[in-house]
Amino acid sequence: MPPILELRNISKSFGSVQANDNISLSFEKGEIHALLGENGAGKTTLMNILYGLYQPDHGDILINGEKVHFENPGDAIDAGLGMVHQHFMLASVMTVTENIIAGDEMLKFGFILDRKSAAKRIKEIADAHNLEVDPDSLIKDLPVGIQQRVEILKLLFRNADILIFDEPTAVLTPQETEQLILILKSLSADGKMIIFISHKLKEVLEIADKISVLRLGKVVATTTPDKSTEESLASLMVGRQVMLTVEKEKATPGEDVLAVKNLEIFDDLKHLAVDNVSFTIREGEILGVAGVQGNGQTELVEAITGLREIIQGSIKIGGFDTTRFNPRKITELGVGHVPEDRQRDGLTLSTDLATNLVLNTYYLPPFSKGIVLNEEVIKQTAVERINAFDIRTTGSDAQASALSGGNQQKVIIAREFSRQLRLLIAAQPTRGLDVGSIEYVHQQIVKKRDEGTAVLLVSTELDEIMALSDRIAVMFRGQIVGIVNADEISREELGLMMAGATVQNETLPEGI
């Protein structure tokens, strides 16, 4: 019996960049096949070819032994393929049912939309795979993990047998990730073939039946979890040994750089998102903020960076009261910001990389003189930063929207880390990055700390928080339930604090 899906000698280039180089892979029914590789290794290009978004320069796609040709995603969907993209394709003002049936509407009498029958079928599919969701809910009212379930239901509603997941856990909390893994195993047991693209090696080893690794557009290995370790997979991806642990000396903190006192902030729905929060960060230390997403971390970062109005309380940076400062004035104090939503807050997607790499300093020398931009210096700086931070792109004139998610993140990292910083605010700084890039970013964060920068690190990755932080503040329902020394708390204790419990080694913020 032939494989349910086979790729034979697929190649694709963009100008001088060979994205896919003679790739051959086969996928079996009921298999979870993980696809690993660095940012820019060719994974997304390969999946876009498979989904009909790109045409290969040469090579064949076979489904159940028969050659197929997809001119567009519609052809792929008709052949039983479906893709859950890293950035969801949902209309926020529409209901779950309306999003799922869009383009495949169920009709009564040939012209009346049958919402009731559609909702019933959606519920049946959801119940079969533990995809609990209310068909009548508006997308904008749902957390990210539930929105992802809607994307999965869209595929199952169209009877997809081959499911592609592109970095499906990049925006999920640990709890949502555990739920997704159970869902994927249920789909696999039902005979669905799943392509699982991820940079998280622990998850890959836990969920995959087979693992293929791409490097520089080529397949360098296909293996199984029982024959692999995190270290061996990382080495295959990057082509060298990768340090999966963070090496850093004990911090030697100096004076207070950031002082947050009695802060209260509303979310977009005018609910209290940050409730009487106080803490400090000193020169040369990393304060990690741990917590399940949605407990006020986003609003806290937006307030400190001038992106959200403060209802009550104060913020001081380097002794300056920045409570009412706008983002530019805060940036000019030597504050770097890696936002959690790179596309919304970190980049102008429709402009080139050269512009994006100087977005917060373009109006200052040497990038401008008065109102005249120095295009030559901007481009030269962009080339230097592209090379220094290994941004995989066709050049500094490429649009930011053309980059993979991981390389978009590298653009932001390159821009923010290339300045002298007093305070670095890094929210989900390694989201969507491969292991080699994560190693590099971690090293750079520690380097900034050792140079005397105060670092506020916000991450849903507990391993990242524990490895990088000198102290950890845990947020729960908008409040800080404790601030602890990172070397004096276990992962289990931290998990309890994230659920609202307190621990014995809680410390109070100094100076508050």
- Residue 160 shares a structural domain with residue 307: no
| Residue 392: inside a domain | no
* Ramachandran sector of residue 478 (left: φ over 0; alpha: ψ -120 to 50; beta: rest): left
Domain count, the chain: 2
SS3 63: strand
Closest residue by Cα to residue 240 from 440, 25, 389: 440
Contact 234, 435 (CB under 8 A): yes
- Residue 89 shares a structural domain with residue 217: yes
| Residue 356: inside a domain | no
Contacts of residue 97, Cβ cutoff 8 Å, sequence gap at least 6: 115, 118, 119, 122, 135, 136
- Residue 138 shares a structural domain with residue 211: yes
Low-confidence ranges of the chain (pLDDT < 50): 109, 505-512
- Please identify, among 238, 271, 297, the residue that sits at the C-terminal boundary of a domain: 238
| Residue 511: inside a domain | no
| Residue 397: inside a domain | no
Q: For the domain that residue 273 is a member of, what is the CATH number? A: 3.40.50.300
pLDDT of residue 190: 92
- Please identify, among 178, 207, 238, the residue that sits at the C-terminal boundary of a domain: 238
Contacts of residue 165, Cβ cutoff 8 Å, sequence gap at least 6: 83, 84, 184, 194, 195, 196, 197
- Residue 294 shares a structural domain with residue 181: no
Q: What is the pTM of this model?
A: 0.73
Burial class (CB in 10 A: 0-12, 13-18, 19+), 483: buried
pLDDT of residue 101: 85
Can you say whether the dihedral through the CA atoms of 237, 240, 245, 247 is positive or negative? negative
Range of the domain at 470: 256-334+420-498
| Residue 270: inside a domain | yes
Contacts of residue 484, Cβ cutoff 8 Å, sequence gap at least 6: 471, 472, 474, 494, 497, 503, 505, 506, 507
Contact 189, 30 (CB under 8 A): yes
Q: How far is CA 331 from the centre of its chain?
A: 24
pLDDT of residue 108: 59
- Residue 182 shares a structural domain with residue 329: no
Burial class (CB in 10 A: 0-12, 13-18, 19+), 75: middle
SS3 62: strand
Question: Distance between CA atoms of 184 and 127, rounded to whole angstroms?
Answer: 14
Q: Which DSSP category does 382 fall into?
A: H
Strand 162-166 versus strand 81-84 pairing type: parallel
Q: What is the DSSP string of 339-352?
A: -S-IIIII--TTSB
Length of the chain: 512
Question: Distance between CA atoms of 295 and 496, rounded to whole angstroms?
Answer: 15
pLDDT of residue 508: 40
- Residue 234 shares a structural domain with residue 316: no
- Residue 227 shares a structural domain with residue 280: no
Contacts of residue 370, Cβ cutoff 8 Å, sequence gap at least 6: none
| Residue 339: inside a domain | no
Question: Distance between CA atoms of 89 and 213, rounded to whole angstroms?
Answer: 27
Rg, the chain, Cα only: 24
φ and ψ of 331, to 5 deg:
-60, -40
- Cis ω before 253 (30° cut-off from 0): no
Q: Can you point out the beta strands (E) in 149-188?
A: 162-166
pLDDT of residue 113: 66
Strand 162-166 versus strand 193-197 pairing type: parallel
